[in-house]
Amino acid sequence: MTLFLIVLFAALVFEYINGFHDAANAIATVVSTKVLTPRQAIFMAAFFNLAGAMMGTAVAKTIGSGLVDANAITMTTVLAALIGAIAWNLFTWWLGLPSSSSHALVGGLCGAALATADGRWSVMHWSETVKGKPSGLWPKIIMPMLASPIIGFIGASVLMFLLYALLKRATPHFVNKWFGKLQILSAGWMGFSHGTNDAQKTMGIIALALWTGTQKGAFNDLPAWLDFLRTPEFEVHRWVMVTCALVMAAGTAGGGWRIIKTMGHKMVKLQPVHGFAAETTAAAIIEGASHFGIPLSTTHVISSTIMGVGATKRLSAVKWGVVSRIVWAWVLTLPITGLIGYGSYRLLQAMGY
């Protein structure tokens, strides 16, 4: 039970960090274009993240039971996975790089699971079919990781070109006035879609910890008023959903400005029409992924859509030096968090956990 409480605390720490690391992406463009003040954007992001998080559990179930063999997982495995994800998130946040919390958690979980299984790669579900639908690391993580930035870049570029064609006779004052209002809607949708996807990752980890604890007998001697912790079948409880959504909202208010600065100012200079195109494209992609239970990286998608709208102005408008640093962070996330997760499990094991 003590180990579970440590795991729960670590999961909520991760969710808080996820708030100021990833949720900042959802409001970066609306803040950088000065359509909303930071305080207004945080309130809106918190509200729509909460609303989105309550809309389903498909992504949570993928994280909790669709990527590794849940029967081989222990409470120590979950703690090691969280350590790997937290360490990488804090490091990239300190550098101001918008890396993926989703992939950090997946990498940490895979590395920790591999250590738990003494190096047996079969513990990871690479590719399989569940109820007639593709599942596993390749269709749910690797393929979307490669495809989503490309789709985001192209989709945002196409939408921006269409907007340029429609607005070629409009005055700058008209465009800024109306797209300043429309960007509030697109930012709200972005926050909602972020909640349907990113907020669910920690839900899945906590659900996995509850299920593991129940299977291992950790909750057998609990008093009746703690019956809500017992999870004989893998499911995401309502209290887990609400807690994760609220903690993520608190994290967004706590320190997302390093990421916002990179996303909204350092990559390309944005106007409201660019923010609208980037957010609308990103929200549509993330919403679609959430429907199919794909834990997509919000960071990858919104970063690529910002690059896409910037490139329509001219290729030199995008600061490719900053982009290259972001891409390197994307590439390194899975292997480094996997190694940290593996090492953390071995260290915790040596300490007697």
Q: Are 40 and 276 in contact (CB under 8 A)?
A: no
Taking all residues of the chain, what is their mean pLDDT, rounded to a whole number? 85
> What's the mean pLDDT in 14-38?
76
The DSSP secondary-structure symbol of 265 reads I
Of the listed ranges 26-35, 63-72, 87-96, 99-108, the one predicted with least confidence: 26-35
pLDDT of 132 reads: 67
Is the pLDDT higher at 302 or at 252?
Answer: 302
For residue range 172-221, what is the model confidence (pLDDT) as tens digits?
A: 889 988 998 898 899 889 888 888 887 788 898 999 999 999 988 888 88
Q: Examine the pLDDT at 267 and tell me if it is beyond 60.
A: no
| Phi, psi values for residue 171, rounded to 5° | -80, 155
CA atoms within 13 A on the CB side of 180: 12
- How many beta carbons lie within 10 A of that of residue 235, not counting itself? 15
pLDDT of 277 reads: 93
Q: In this prediction, what percent of the chain has a pLDDT beyond 70?
A: 89
pLDDT of 263 reads: 55
pLDDT of 12 reads: 94
Q: Which of 51-55, 62-66, 87-91, 262-266 holds the top average pLDDT?
A: 87-91
Of the listed ranges 72-86, 172-186, 280-294, 311-325, the one predicted with least confidence: 311-325
Q: Examine the pLDDT at 264 and tell me if it is beyond 60.
A: no
Predicted model pTM? 0.85
- In the structure encoding, which two tokens stand for residue 298, read together? 């919000």
Q: Examine the pLDDT at 234 and tell me if it is beyond 60.
A: yes
Q: Examine the pLDDT at 329 and tell me if it is beyond 80.
A: no
pLDDT of 256 reads: 59
pLDDT of 250 reads: 80
Element (H, E) at 188: helix 172-197
For residue range 119-135, what is the model confidence (pLDDT) as tens digits?
A: 899 999 988 776 667 77
Kindly write down the DSSP assignment for every residue of 261-305, as one continuous string: HIIIIIS----HHHHHHHHHHHHHHHHHHHHTT----HHHHHHHH
pLDDT band at 87 (very low <50, low <70, confident <90, very high): very high
pLDDT of 98 reads: 67
pLDDT of 102 reads: 83
Is the pLDDT higher at 129 or at 169?
Answer: 169
> What's the mean pLDDT in 10-26?
79
For residue range 28-47, what is the model confidence (pLDDT) as tens digits?
A: 778 777 888 777 877 787 78
Residues ≥6 apart with Cβ < 8 Å to 70:
64, 208, 211, 212, 234
